[in-house]
């Protein structure tokens, strides 16, 4: 890290850090627009990732967190000068805590035209169930 944190161990960030502040190897990141819909069976996640193709997309699920990284496929050609920019070149990063409410084996995702749709079936433990009264 830097000289100071290496000299004084107590200033070194421990491995359990706040979400989103890990030392990202991704560099600068941007949070994409997303919506989550819920049904009895599953969660439906829709993420807008314009400029991301299947090759640049990475979805990982671990420790109760779903992590979506999208790298943009396009880079500015040499001769082009930017006159006005509203988008950024940063990688998309979305981290959602689901606290083990999702059955990881049954996650399905598809990416078309820059829109990622992920279906996250609920784990059996949290599905609504009727309780019989004796």
Residues that bind another protein (CB under 8 A): 1-5, 20-21, 24, 27-31, 33, 35, 37, 48-53, 73-74, 76-77, 79-90, 112-115
Cα distances (Å, whole numbers) of residue 132 to 123, 129: 21, 10
Tokens 């030392």 identify what position?
Answer: 23
Owner of token pair 């671990």: 62
46 vs 100, beta carbon nearer another protein: 46
Residue 3 or 125 with smaller CB distance to another protein: 3
Least distance (Å) from another protein to the CB of residue 17?
A: 10
36, 40, 99, 25: CA torsion to nearest 10: -30
Question: Which CB atom, from 53 or from 101, has the smaller least distance to another protein?
Answer: 53
Phi and psi of 115, rounded to 5°?
-115, 125
Q: How far is the CB of 60 from another protein (least distance, A)?
A: 20
4 vs 125, which CB is nearer to another protein?
4
Q: Write down the least CB distance from residue 117 to another protein, Å.
A: 9
**∠ CA 57-55-43 to the nearest 5 degrees?**
35
Q: Which run of H or E residues covers position 7?
A: helix 3-7
Rounded to a whole number of angstroms, the minimum distance from the CB of residue 96 to another protein is: 14
């Amino acid at each position: 890290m830097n000289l100071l944190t290496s000299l004084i161990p107590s200033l070194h960030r421990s491995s359990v850090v706040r979400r989103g502040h890990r030392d990202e190897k991704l560099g600068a990141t941007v949070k994409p627009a997303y919506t989550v819909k819920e049904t009895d069976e599953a969660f439906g996640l829709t993420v807008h990732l314009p400029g991301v193709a299947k090759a640049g997309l990475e979805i990982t699920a671990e420790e109760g967190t779903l992590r979506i990284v999208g790298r943009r496929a396009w880079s500015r050609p040499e001769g082009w000068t930017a006159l006005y920019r509203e988008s950024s070149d940063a990688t998309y990063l979305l981290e959602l805590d689901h606290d083990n409410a999702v059955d990881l084996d049954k996650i399905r995702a598809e990416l078309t035209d820059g829109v990622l749709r992920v279906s996250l079936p609920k784990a059996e433990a949290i599905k609504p169930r009727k309780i019989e009264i004796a």
